[in-house]
Structure 1
């Protein structure tokens, strides 16, 4: 939990040292389905290969596989690769299309040549065309094309934003060396973002995904808040005052951030600009006040304060007025994040000897614990933009890895794998 970062020395997060070799799997069987949610059966037919030989066949197989995975992970559909005789499901829709190529332009040959993907969403079995998209991806772009079409299908049929093109940034490593990594929402495309032999923690995406703010000791060992340009990897300093520079969260308009600074005593919440200019100090107390998170409209923020003796959640207006306590259950509540719809807040709470993930209404009512003791510690939740999925870190295997929860169906899947601890995830918007 982010609160642990303000312990003495402010350097090392205490994580379990027990190694665990994680095996890639599709689901973690710890959830229970509280209610059967209606899902739309949809066929994802094999794509016709019109030209291009084995490369086109492989592209067709990959695109079909990604589409089936995306629609299934959305929680909204029951995808199938073909209409099997005797299948009792009544399909209303189908995806079909074709692959051509690879094309050979003047400077592109062989494996570097693009294919042409023609993808259609149709009614079934009538095959009335509802959506058509044509893509011309290089081999490494084929997954992206499939993700894009899946998002289009989800938005058209469910009226909700898809998350197939979203990514999760997080901190990976042990001891005093942790770097930022990013991974696609479906565990593919893992990429390292920093490599500076120090701590890089608590990343936060800008609304347009062009920048990631994060806390690091990369500048002469002093803690500071930095910004990473996602287009070229360039890192620049945002602010580095004495003491804490922690817990950045971007305003929905992308023009300012919330951050906890302690250069004038105990950690307090500030609004700052992306160039580090302090706009306003929002809290004034002798308590520790950290982990701020904007509401979707940017009018309010939720944060953690120990002003009553234990860390609890509070809400204030964007000008620092109207303080109201949100949590009264639990002796340790932290890392609150507002859902994209603004109606719910997820956070981490201490239950017995472990921390768990909780979701409640933004009013503090209808508190629901998503995880339990079988997860050991579950921390640092972050919402997907669909408001249905949460990513969080847990050491259920003995080492912290990232997991995704479908909060409607209460199903879980592991997102990251490997032996190094993964912490402080943030889902792109």
Structure 2
């Protein structure tokens, strides 16, 4: 995995090996870069989550996935203390059975402290939840689905469907997230 320091600086290497480091995200405070990697066993498709300082020091595993498991799409919280991510951590994916050569990084949505503690499952449903992110509380949810379709907005205290951008979430309910 490589990084670029500013517009005039060059590219420098953060990690090096015969594995895949992917889906990286820089923390808002600039202290960490989170990423998914199969470095534990490069011959498998098991991806765990790691963090590393931008100067390539302090590499550590945050989420460990079992053999064949996947943790992907890490995204830092606004305070840089937690990650939200997707994983099939909670169960068995049907993807290897229905399409054995297809990589599907979705699953359920979880949060974890960047020290690797307090893993919390946020979704539990039959849908493939993927590519989560954090949004400032002042942003109003937007309907990004085609006309007539529902949109999922996940909050930390529940997961519910919104079908109109006019529906507003009370930010006081999620201010401790």
Cα deviation digits, residues 298-321 of structure 1 (max 9, x gap): 222111111212411111122111
What is the aligned counterpart of 1:279 among 59, 76, 87? 59
Cα deviation digits, residues 249-283 of structure 1 (max 9, x gap): 11121011111111113211111011222432111
Partner of 1:293: 75
Partner of 2:99: none
Offset at residue 295 of structure 1 (A): 1.1
What is the aligned counterpart of 1:302 among 67, 70, 84? 84
Task: Decide whether aligned partners of structure 1 residues 230 and 291 sit closer, same or farther in structure 2, where only a CA change above 3 A counts.
Answer: same
Offset at residue 247 of structure 1 (A): 1.3
In 2, distance between residues paired with 1:358 and 1:282? Answer: 27
The TM-score normalised by the length of structure 2 is 0.66
What is the aligned counterpart of 1:248 among 18, 21, 24? 24
Cα deviation digits, residues 120-173 of structure 1 (max 9, x gap): xxxxxxxxxxxxxxxxxxxxxxxxxxxxxxxxxxxxxxxxxxxxxxxxxxxxxx
Task: Decide whether aligned partners of structure 1 residues 332 and 259 sit closer, same or farther in structure 2, where only a CA change above 3 A counts.
Answer: same
Aligned runs of 1:340-379 on 2, under 5 Å?
340-341=136-137, 358-368=152-162
Q: Which has the larger radius of gyration?
A: 1
Aligned runs of 1:123-134 on 2, under 5 Å?
none
Offset at residue 368 of structure 1 (A): 2.9
Give the gaps of 5 or more residues in structure 1: 1-224, 349-355, 371-406, 410-429
Task: Tell me whether 1:258 sits opposite 2:41 in the alignment.
Answer: no
In 1, distance between residues paired with 2:47 and 2:117? Answer: 18
Offset at residue 232 of structure 1 (A): 2.3
In 2, distance between residues paired with 1:275 and 1:369? Answer: 44
Partner of 1:269: 49
Task: Decide whether aligned partners of structure 1 residues 408 and 273 sit closer, same or farther in structure 2, where only a CA change above 3 A counts.
Answer: farther
Asked if 2 retains the 8 angstrom alpha-carbon contact of 1:226 and 1:235, the reply is yes
Task: Decide whether aligned partners of structure 1 residues 295 and 363 sit closer, same or farther in structure 2, where only a CA change above 3 A counts.
Answer: farther
SS at the partner of 1:259?
strand
In 1, distance between residues paired with 2:117 and 2:62? Answer: 8
Offset at residue 285 of structure 1 (A): 2.6
The TM-score normalised by the length of structure 1 is 0.29
In 2, distance between residues paired with 1:281 and 1:361? Answer: 26
Asked if 2 retains the 8 angstrom alpha-carbon contact of 1:249 and 1:259, the reply is yes
Partner of 2:7: 231
Partner of 1:322: 118
In terms of fraction of residues, the more strand-rich structure is 1
In 1, distance between residues paired with 2:27 and 2:77? Answer: 9
Task: Decide whether aligned partners of structure 1 residues 366 and 272 sit closer, same or farther in structure 2, where only a CA change above 3 A counts.
Answer: same
In 1, distance between residues paired with 2:141 and 2:80? Answer: 14
Asked if 1 retains the 8 angstrom alpha-carbon contact of 2:108 and 2:129, the reply is yes
Task: Decide whether aligned partners of structure 1 residues 282 and 343 sit closer, same or farther in structure 2, where only a CA change above 3 A counts.
Answer: farther
Superposed CA RMSD in Å reads 3.1
Offset at residue 334 of structure 1 (A): 1.1
Asked if 2 retains the 8 angstrom alpha-carbon contact of 1:296 and 1:341, the reply is no
In 2, distance between residues paired with 1:267 and 1:227? Answer: 21
